[in-house]
Amino acid sequence: MHKTSKATFVLPTPLLEELRHFVQAGMADSLSALVRQSLEMRARQLREEELEGQFQEAARDPLFMADLRECMQAFDGTTGDGLNA
């Protein structure tokens, strides 16, 4: 398990009440676990969005795209290598 740290956040009361309801209903192990899981999911989404932006930026870079085409052409001869067609 990773090292943990305490943090204080301000949440809207209705949201906090809803989260507590989920814990009391047995839908989450604890309030902390539910908040951690939610933040992990959001962080994953943000990382994916950031990566998508980097892909889009690379796709607009003519030098990167030329290098990519060159690499793909270099491996054209190995496509299907070892397969009986």
User: What span, in angstroms and rounded, lies between the C-alpha atoms of 37 and 64?
Assistant: 37
Residue 76 is predicted with a pLDDT of: 84
Domain ranges of the chain: 13-76
Q: Over the stretch 29-59, which tens digit does the pLDDT of each residue have?
A: 999 999 999 999 999 999 999 999 999 999 9
User: What span, in angstroms and rounded, lies between the C-alpha atoms of 65 and 67?
Assistant: 5
pTM for the complete prediction? 0.72
Residue 85 is predicted with a pLDDT of: 55
Residue 78 is predicted with a pLDDT of: 80
The position carrying tokens 């902390």 is 32
Q: Over the stretch 58-82, which tens digit does the pLDDT of each residue have?
A: 999 999 999 999 999 988 878 766 6
